[in-house]
Amino acid sequence: MEIERHFSVERTILLNSSMSKDECIDALAKLVESEAKLPAEEVSDAVKRRERQISTFVGSGVALPHARMEWAPSSSVALGISPEGLQWDPGVEERVHIVVLIVYAQLDQIQLLSSIARLFSNPVLRESLIACRDCDEALEALRRPSARTRLTIEPETLRVAASTVRHAFTIAEETGSRAVLLHPDGLGTLAFLDSSVPQSPPVFLITRDSTIYERLDYGFADVIQLPFRGLRRSNVIEMSLLFILSKGVLQRGDTVISVFGDTASRTLDSIVFTDISREFGVFFSLQSTRRPPDLQEVVFSRVIQIASEIAEEGREGKPTGTLFVVGDFERVSEHTQQLVINPFHGYDEDECNILDPILEETVKEFSRIDGAFVIRGDGVIESAGTYIRTEVPFTDIPSGLGARHAAAATITAVTSAVAIAVSESTKRISIFRDGERVMIW
């Protein structure tokens, strides 16, 4: 998605630190009035109503006030920057420096909200915007990815990265590997590449935020955006291969070379050789004809992301387990009942979509409730705290796994849904399809 095209100098403003939240929303609503073809007062009222339901402060000094307005002809975005910061929520000490007001008309525009949240998760971009002296400079930082990556990298670090990548290309050629996966986020720059990457085997760029890199000059076969936090180094490779497999690029018998490093120490110094048949043989059952026809790849990605963070972080310092059942909702609903009052009942669909970054903490909080999340293929969370009941006896569960994993196996045996289970005791994540656990990490 070309995020930058949603911003303009005309819809950007420098905010006074003395402004209240409501005053800030009013000012941004006036900026979108002409483009949204809606009175600023209506926009402001709709955004404030949404804000009263749940704060849109997403952390790291960023707030994303937004509202769905059915009669808006298209999405409209306004950007406000406050170098000193605004007081956004009562009792919250952290101040807001970047405010993005978003008005959208259709449910699928929730992906715009998700993409904007991901864009401003980049700390370098945030720092660049806060330091801007005027709106023109702010738009320059948004539109030119190189302006977001003003990183100080030691020359020796770049030499090590360049040497590692050259050796990876050589190994790939000598082993007949099908692809090379390049993970540059350990450095946050592609300055170690002197020229275009080889076209054979194809080189895939793997990153948490594809907007960081000016990738078109390097000839990458594709860019795989993997915006997951809390993954160990080996898990990054596994998840990258999972996404590339889902695109049908790799097949049984292929081998892959991965080049990566450690983000904490800012390195790119490791090469891993992976035999797809040996490491991911069971994954190919995910490509069976029973895959939910309604399951969007972005929704599957988002659920995996949240599951990974729940496994890594837990809640309030304590480990947490949970279950997500995704896709084939009509059939899944025939095998469910509520253990508790459904916390998502009665809300508009655009207010309970798993793609909405505002709901991330809400989903993590409800993960402590016994039962499963039931999610439609388009991302709408139909229920939480849901009991999975089927008449299919299921005893073929690996030793050490309990009711949550049994429920994942049984519901995927009688429907074409995908189930993602997070183990409370081991912090490991399992994916179930067709009644079988097809992946664990």
- Answer for the pair 310, 284: CB distance below 8 angstroms, yes or no: no
Number of C-alpha atoms within 13 angstroms, CB side, residue 156? 0
- Mean pLDDT on 397-405: 69
Query: Residues 6 or more apart from 150 whose CB is under 8 A from it?
Result: 124, 128
- Answer for the pair 356, 375: CB distance below 8 angstroms, yes or no: no
pTM passes above 0.75: no
pLDDT at 427: 84
Q: Residue 5, Cβ neighbours under 10 Å: how many?
A: 9
pLDDT at 150: 43
Domains of the chain: 3-148 (3.40.930.10), 155-285 (3.40.1380.20), 290-440 (3.40.1700.10)
> Tokens standing for 290?
């029973």
Residue predicted with more confidence, 263 or 200: 200
Question: With 80 as the cut, is the pLDDT of residue 112 above it?
Answer: no
> Tokens standing for 191?
């300055």
Beta strands in 179-285 (DSSP E): 179-182, 203-207, 222-225, 255-260, 270-275
Residue type, 183: H
Quote the percentage of the chain above a pLDDT of 70: 84
* Interval 123-173: pLDDT, tens: 777 888 888 888 888 888 777 554 444 445 678 888 899 999 999 999 999
> Tokens standing for 268?
């790119």
Question: With 70 as the cut, is the pLDDT of residue 394 above it?
Answer: no
Q: Which of 106-120, 216-230, 320-334 is most confident?
A: 320-334
pLDDT at 147: 42
Distance between CA atoms of 362 and 368, rounded to whole angstroms? 11
Q: Is the dihedral of CA 27, 33, 34, 35 positive or negative?
A: positive
SS3 65: coil
Q: Which residues pair with 12 in a beta bridge?
A: 79
